[in-house]
Structure 1
């Protein structure tokens, strides 16, 4: 038996005939608080890219430069699994506050770190707290918001990435120049504390969902630890055979973290999870190398490439807004449309690269791919929640985030291997790299067609 919700906590459904929105008085504080969490995580993601060269130079840590990015990506999966299991047992309140606390602790450790090793430890904590907070937010949305509002809320989450994409690097650069790179991390701690204060009372008032948790074993945590270690090995090992062995370990560990049948595209929830992982792998691999490609193949300057990336953020948001207008229609149809558009875009990109066509044509195709992601990517979360029960909402939220994070990390690492092999063979590397991204997009389309 669970306690009844506090009077100011919205129920899962609204009163008959009443069509409230995510910004109505019932949901306003929770909506703003959860969106603020997304903004903070997004800002830190964009800001770190800007200040990492300064951090590396100041701490004499060039040897651990890559680990500064790999550590939070790997630890995020551990946080996701822990948060999902904990949320299923006690509700989202305490896990959310703990996740934000760990995230803030990581910021503080990174900000005051006297050595690169300690800085990486802080980044590890940031990743764990950030990954955990994303899972708990999904659980919170599943409990507090009716299904008709969930797509709109996830579109708002996508929009929350737009401003940090525009201003995060510029603001981080200004803070680093004016006060030093450490204040990019330390200054964010106060913002995390403010957001935690806004969410604390409402989050703690949300009870655990009815029904006993389906997952009581600690084995998912051990598999998450193995997957995290292996994906870092893929990113950091220089020997191709060892890297591929680590990639195989990642896939094996993922098979234990995801719903049964996810890796073989089983119908329903398993394919929803796989669609998310393949989408992340395809698009984020392409995004990781797109600026480098623009500069090396066509000579585009970094500032112009930055404007292209800004357009990517806006078009992604527009795609998310479009799918939100179809919030009560077939999830499989929306995901299929988005993945099909992504596959067409990346097949076109490989053709543009092969023909060495105009750079603006390549940029336009990539912006179209961002719109495809806006359509399909947030809808995978809505579909996952629709296929979950009170007993497994947290675990499924952890699974879709694990597929997302590991799908992107593993694909980017494999793309790095492709780049290295192509360059050692004196072959233009961008064509096989984007062909790989296109192949992942086609697989995401196959998975989306099996989500019904």
Structure 2
């Protein structure tokens, strides 16, 4: 796709120019900046948690609940994301945005003032609900408030916002923890959330923003999402107090609830979140979704526990851990940009190469984190992030292209949903491993050494499954193309 940048007028894409001066004069540019702020707030908060965790655990204790901090946030985001897209059929976009921003601000306030880890986790759930709704409403806003001709450019800018948040979040958390307190990091989000709620009525002042959609919303998947929430909660609960019988029962029940969630979703076509044959390796869609799920599960451990382990085990400064996680995000963004214009014939090679990088980086943490070598840890972070940057755009394209025509919209939305579910379940499973390896008894250098030894090793099989699924997807894509050529 040919793209030309003009300093005066904006971006040329598909022969249509976005006149940024006209957008600014009409107020559309301010509205777009406003709705994009929701993405920035959600994504920054999501990635910040890693670098504030050492200070947070030192203040509130509850290291055995670290896995919950990500799992419950992602769970709230999944539920709210599914809800917000449907609520605009009954409540105006402006009212939805105001409510979502208020929820986000209230959740941040609970986190900032939490006297205990359990209260902090309650705040994380409310934050996740607000943040997930803000993200969903940002994408709805583009379709409802702006000219169709400039949608691709606006969606591209929103993707860049994700990239900015991915590396700014860990640095923000580290800087606030060092200079002030981890509580002030959430205090900043309190101000932003309430400020966004207060200004919604001023910025979103168009008829489209305060009208209600005339389309009937599809049925809401209450039973399926309830099973998803139950499954994640049971898995996370299995790791709080690790005991063989209790933890095994809770883990088995949680996994069974997740299986039932996917089966129930598949049985209800009008309200389902995922395309049919979601994990079947008979098509590139199924193997691609397996790759997304497996790598999301396998790679959340370093972002969640890495800074805590490095500061406890090797006395690495929190700010340094922030730079390490930022390096992972930067490599993701840079390599995504570099391969954006690669010819389709190189797609299989790039996907396979990216999957190999992800698996290698995730496996490398099992050796480098206990060793404490910062250069080697950075190398693993860059490998893991760069692998995602290489493979993910093409994986998404293959998955959507492989879906039946009437399921391509569902397939495109399913990729980030599966990724979030993977992060939530992965965080819950990581909590089981970490607590079984020593964190259930508190955090010190000895227990950190035990956790560092086993945490990353336990997730190696999932990384291998992701790599094999990537190869299967590549093979299926090549076979499909060869048949089409014949």
State the TM bucket, normalised to the shorter chain: 0.7 to 0.9
Aligned twin of 2:255: 247
Q: C-alpha offsets along residues 174-198 of structure 1, whole Å, 9 cap, x if unaligned? A: 3438x96773453343443367457
Structure 1 residues 63-72 or 242-251, which shifts more? 63-72
Structure 2 CA distance for aligned equivalents of residues 440 and 389 of structure 1: 28
Kindly report which structure 2 residues correspond to 1:160-309, keeping only aligned pairs within 5 A, or say none: 160-171=165-176, 173-176=178-181, 183-184=187-188, 186-193=190-197, 196=200, 200-201=204-205, 204-205=208-209, 213=217, 215=219, 218-236=222-240, 238-239=242-243, 240-245=247-252, 246-255=254-263, 256=265, 257-265=273-281, 267=283, 273-291=289-307, 302-309=318-325
Q: Does 1:402 align with 2:417?
A: yes
Q: Could you tell me how far 1:116 is from its partner in structure 2? A: 5.6
In structure 2, the residue matched to 1:10 is: none
State the distance in 2 between where 1:118 and 1:236 align: 16
- Encode CA deviations 1:67-101: one digit per residue, 9 max, x unaligned: 45543233222212222433577786554443223
Is 1:342–2:355 an aligned residue pair? Answer: yes
Q: Please, which moves more after superposition, 160-169 or 395-404?
A: 395-404
- 8 Å CA contact 1:345–1:368 kept in 2: the answer is yes
User: Are 1:210 and 1:390, in contact at CA under 8 Å, matched by a contact in 2?
Assistant: no
Alpha-carbon shift at residue 371 of structure 1 (Å): 1.6
Between the aligned partners of 2:83 and 2:288, the Cα distance in structure 1 is 21
1:202 shift after superposition: 5.7
Indicate the larger mover: 29-38 or 295-304. Answer: 295-304
Distance 1:414 1:267, change over 3 A: same
Give, in whole Å, the separation in 1 of the partners of 2:296 and 2:55: 29
State the alpha-carbon separation in 1 of the partners of residues 473 and 101 from structure 2.
Answer: 33
How many residues are aligned here?
Answer: 433
3-state SS, counterpart of residue 161 of structure 1:
helix
Verify: 1:373 aligned to 2:388, yes or no.
Answer: yes
8 Å contact from structure 2 (residues 105, 193) kept in 1: yes
For structure 1, the 5+ residue unaligned runs are 1-13
Q: Distance in 1 between matches of 2:137 and 2:281?
A: 26
Task: Encode CA deviations 1:352-389: one digit per residue, 9 max, x unaligned.
Answer: 85697965244213202212222344666677888799
CA distance in 1, matches of 2:66, 2:433: 21
Match of 2:326 in 1: 310
Q: 1:261 deviation in Å?
A: 1.6
The C-alpha deviation readout for 1:212-269, integer Å capped at 9, x for no partner, is 6554554334334334433433553524413531234224324435332213356466
Q: Distance in 2 between matches of 1:273 and 1:199?
A: 38
Distance in 1 of aligned mates of 2:163 and 2:411: 20
Structure 2 vs 1, CA of residues 183 and 391 (structure 1 numbering), >3 Å: closer, same or farther?
A: same
In structure 1, the partner of 2:458 is: 433
| Cα shift at 1:167 | 2.7
State the alpha-carbon separation in 1 of the partners of residues 21 and 431 from structure 2. Answer: 43
Task: State the match for 1:82 in structure 2.
Answer: 83
| Alignment correspondent of 1:157 | 162
Structure-2 change in CA distance of 1:37 and 1:323 (3 Å) = farther
**Match of residue 4 from structure 1:** none
Q: CA separation of 1:171/1:282 partners in 2, compared to 1, >3 Å: closer, same or farther? A: same
Aligned CA distance change for structure 1 residues 392 and 358 (closer, same or farther; 3 Å): closer
**8 A contact 1:36–1:195 mirrored in 2:** no
Greater shift, 249-258 or 347-356, is seen at 347-356
TM-score, normalised via structure 2 length: 0.69
Q: Could you say which residue in structure 1 is the equivalent of 2:375?
A: 360
1:122 positional shift: 2.7
Superposition pairs for residues 385-424 of structure 1, below 5 Å?
399-418=414-433
TM-score (normalizing by structure 1): 0.73
For the structure 1 residues 288 and 19, does the alpha-carbon distance in structure 2 shift closer, same or farther, using more than 3 Å as the test?
Answer: same
Partner of 2:133: 132
Q: Does structure 1 residue 102 correspond to structure 2 residue 103? A: yes
Deviation for aligned residue 1:407: 0.5
Shift in CA distance, 66/419, structure 1 to aligned 2, threshold 3 Å: closer
* 1:103 and 1:130 in contact (8 A); partners too: yes
What is the CA-CA distance between 1:322 and the residue it aligns to?
A: 3.1
Native 8 Å contact 1:209 1:390 kept in 2: no
Indicate conservation of the 8 Å contact 1:334/1:375, yes or no. no
Q: Is the 8 A contact 1:345 1:366 kept in 2?
A: no
Q: Greater Rg, structure 1 or structure 2?
A: 2
Moved more, 274-283 or 99-108: 274-283
Cα deviation for residue 422 of structure 1 reads 6.9
CA shift, 1:445, in A, is: 1.6
RMSD over aligned Cα atoms: 4.8
